Structure 1
């Protein structure tokens, strides 16, 4: 009889360990999936979009430099790409009005990348508002109208950023696919990173001078997109053409 209870106890211990392991595995997978929800939102409805329902959106950040932006524009024109969204820092735009004008004339969408390269999570509310306001004024002087999109300069944001951006009339846009082109990992690696893109994804690329390999990678990226039969749209078109989900952030 004693042998029976010793054996049963060992069995129960094994079962308990299996259940604990299963619980933590399920929790890990749940948290991993949670990070893929297309839109973050606050209780009052402010939101940051990083994925849509259909199509594909190419986005380019430009914060500094004057050498890489035009080769990117040349490639888009050569490849007959009609839709892309450029997030421009206000300070950069002031220094390069001719490039800003070309982006507008060629039909691409412009979003704000703040004014200076500031991490909004490190700033007080008033300083976030000031940075956005300075960028807004810079684009008004350049006669760039009806900007509705904003991206946090470093990509870092929280609920405060969403609420402040919403007060200024902007929707915060993040991304689903990071090309990591700013790391200059090699053309093949950039292409491989972007090749993961699926319907509804927003792709992050750069046209700043720090991203030295993006122009060479872009034709290969576009060839893969065409092969997949995906349509390129601006971020605003993606928002208008599909439903979005939301998750509260704090």
Structure 2
């Protein structure tokens, strides 16, 4: 019931400013006629819950540093990097401090990224049918778009055309990254105005984050009432196992069948 650390509730920061990192695996890959181990490296933004995936070829400190450098090349230098007390993370701390990154080692319990590791493993099991893929296929499979398109909240939407807030909104501007996120900019408009419009769009996502997501993760469940059951008029997703989760249709509840206990 303690308060969450500041990186979990930090708003209006660039995604991955406060990042947690963890390994998962090993993942077996096919190299010629033999099998070799690879490890997935999961980086998660502690505020927006977006993830970034890299491939490590071993559990050594050097391999860990290379994975962190690859992450920083795409997502920028984080302000803080949180990890457990693994020996490879301990060895990487010195170099990370040299790159002006504050590295924080915590105990294995209570890590915010363990649930996301499970989500990535579930997605891999459904996508990666070959149990021993090639290195190239493994890298192509370890893409973050599927996990980053998951809804952050379960609050019913007021309009069926409204999108649930997802990590991709902060990274790509929409839940899937497809289609324009704002009106096309007419010719002759200055770049300064275009930049301001993009900033307004990002601020709108952060305002939704403050209104919809932050109250959920800071809730003290011990003193909260039970979750409100579904009622007529609520907007829901219609789960279709044959379609990607980002393509599930939305529906409105027309009738609720109550059980004997209400």
TM-score scaled to structure 2, two decimals? 0.32
The structure with higher relative contact order (CA 8 Å, sep 6+) is 1
Larger helix share, 1 or 2: 1
Give the greater-gyration-radius structure (CA).
1
TM-score scaled to structure 1, two decimals? 0.33
